[in-house]
Amino acid sequence: MPSSSEPDGPPEEPAAAPTETDTVTATTEPDSADSADSADSTEEPEAPEETPEAPAPRPVSPVRRRVALAVGVAGELLITAGVVLALFVAYSLWWTNVVANQEAREDSDAVREHWAADDDPDGEDATVPRAYEPEDGIGFLHVPAMSDDEILVKEGTGLDVLNGGVAGYYDEPVESAMPWDDEGNFSLAAHRDGHGARFHAIDRIEEGDPIVFETQNTWYVYRTFAVLPETSKFNTEVLAPVPEESGATEAGRYITLTTCTPVYTSRHRYIVWGELERTEPVDADRTPPAELLDAS
Amino acid sequence: MYGWIWRHLPGNTLVRLLVSVVLVLGVVYLLFEYVFPWAEPLLPFNNVTVE
């Protein structure tokens, strides 16, 4: 903590010390020592009116001095810890979003460029186009109830993937089905806070809301049919090909969104289930399906 | 502690002030770039998957 407020006065430097007498003892002490050893030849810091009890004349015992120093250092360490924690909050809730949004934007642009470049003549999503790898991103999730932004979907739910501001589909503990599979559960995870916070507003999704997944060739339109606001993080049943907790009883083409809840913690998991309603081929202009047009 | 650092910085008050600002920014950079990314997965705030 530099003694503030006089960056403009280089020659009269002892002016700062006496004005700080109301701070912690040990911080004033080094400062007065500072003025003593750096400026003892110059004029005495002629004690202004606001410091009638200038500590200099009274001799202080060495023990007292040492205790005061220790208390001062401990205080400074505590203040430092507080500042570091505040910085960590800023990092978690702001900076990681900045980084992740940037990363996701670049990756999304790359995927769209690949799609535009490789016209994938057979028009089947199941055959991966030559130009890109599935871990680059398989498509975009659109959930108008949650956000107007599209969410890039990549393979895997490790932090290395999700911290890039994307949603990931599960490889484990239960392997996700792909939207183009005849049946199964397309299961996704994304951050609730920080790192893009792609599923931050997952609690705004209600039964009946559309969830649309866009691939190179197809719009997959799902309809939300069940929400589980809180469950254990060990409840892998929610990812099952037929997620029975949602009320589903027979094999179908499901989508499952998972994230953590309540916000800012990882105590529980929030689950949203949808079932495929229809698919629509992507046209030359990539016209979105009616569900997305209505929303915007 | 900070007083000790302040006294050991070179130059006059203005130079010390500038050096302090640079030091603080350097520390913040190290925290954001290395320390926080390392600490974050160890803290129970951002695990979103079922496992």
pLDDT at position B25 is 97
Residue A130 has pLDDT above 80, yes or no: no
pLDDT at residue A10 tops 60: no
Nearest Cβ partner for B48 among A3, A9, A189: A189
Dump pLDDT digits (tens) for A245-262.
999 999 999 999 999 988
* DSSP assignments along A84-150, one per residue: HHHHHHHIIIIIHHHHHHHHHHHHHHHHHHHHHH---TT--TTSPPTTS-GGG--EEEE-TTT-SS-
Inter-chain CB proximity A31 and B3 less than 8 Å: yes
Instruction: Report CB contact under 8 Å: A91, B31.
Output: yes
Residue A260 annotated among the catalytic residues of the structure: yes
Task: Tell me the domain boundaries of chain A.
Answer: 108-295
List the 73-112 stretch of A: residues with Cβ below 8 A of B.
73, 76-77, 84, 87-88, 91-92, 95
State both tokens at A23.
């701070």
- Class of domain A108-295 as given by CATH: mainly beta
Q: What is the mean pLDDT of residues A240-247?
A: 93
pLDDT at A9 over 90: no
List the domain boundaries for chain B.
2-42
Q: What local confidence, expressed as pLDDT, does residue A295 receive?
A: 62
Partners of B16 on chain A (C-beta within 8 Å) are 2
pLDDT exceeds cutoff 90 at A48:
no
Percent of chain A surpassing pLDDT 90: 60
pLDDT value at A92 more than 70: yes
- Closest approach of chain A CAs to the CA of B49, in angstroms? 6
Active-site residue, selected from the candidate residues A146, A153, A227, A260:
A260
- Which among B31, B44, B49 is the nearest to A84, CB-wise? B31
Mean pLDDT of chain A: 81
pLDDT grade, residue A242 (50/70/90)? Answer: very high
Which of A11-15, A187-191, A227-231 is the least confident region? A11-15
Q: Which of A13-17, A136-140, A144-148, A265-269 has the lowest mean pLDDT?
A: A13-17
Q: Mark yes or no for CB contact A234/B32 under 8 Å.
A: no
CA of A39: how far to CAs of A8, A13, A51, in Å?
17, 8, 19
CA distance linking residue A15 with residue A3, whole number of Å: 10
Torsion of CA A132, A135, A141, A146, to 10 degrees: -140
Q: Measured between alpha carbons, how far is B36 from A84 in angstroms, rounded to an integer?
A: 10
pLDDT of residue A185: 95
Distance from CA of B16 to the nearest CA of A (A): 8
The shortest C-alpha distance from B21 to chain A (Å) reads 10
User: For residue A214, which of A118, A144, A165 has the smallest C-alpha distance?
Assistant: A144
pLDDT, position A75: 95
Which portions of chain B are predicted below pLDDT 50?
none
pLDDT of residue A43: 46
Q: What pLDDT is recorded for position A135?
A: 60
What confidence score (pLDDT) does residue B45 get? Answer: 76
Residue A63 token pair: 């023990």
Cβ-defined contact of A190 to B48 (cutoff 8 Å):
yes
B51 vs chain A: nearest CA distance in angstroms?
5
CA distance A29 to A79: 18
Query: Which residues of A fall within a CB distance of 8 Å from B45?
Result: 92, 193-194, 264-266
Exposure string for A93-103, b = 16+ CB within 10 A, e = fewer: eebbbebbbeb
Q: Is the pLDDT at A220 greater than 70, yes or no? A: yes
| Residue A7 to residue B14, Cβ atoms within 8 A | yes
pLDDT band at A266 (very low <50, low <70, confident <90, very high): confident
Cβ-Cβ contacts under 8 Å, A33 against chain B: 3, 7
User: Residue A193: pLDDT above 80?
Assistant: yes
**Which residues make Cβ contacts (< 8 Å) with residue A19, sequence separation at least 6?**
A5, A48, A50, A51
Q: What percent of chain A has pLDDT over 70?
A: 74
Beta carbons of A195 and A259 less than 8 angstroms apart: no
Give the integer Cα–Cα distance in Å for B35 and B30: 7
Size of interface A-B (CB pairs under 8 A): 110
Name the residue among A164, A181, A192, A254 with its Cα closest to residue A218.
A181
pLDDT of residue A13: 42
In the predicted model, what is the mean pLDDT of residues A233-252?
93
Q: What's the pLDDT tens digit per position in A49-87?
A: 555 555 566 777 889 999 999 999 999 999 999 999 999
CB contact under 8 A, A264 and B45: yes
Say which DSSP state B34 is in. Answer: I
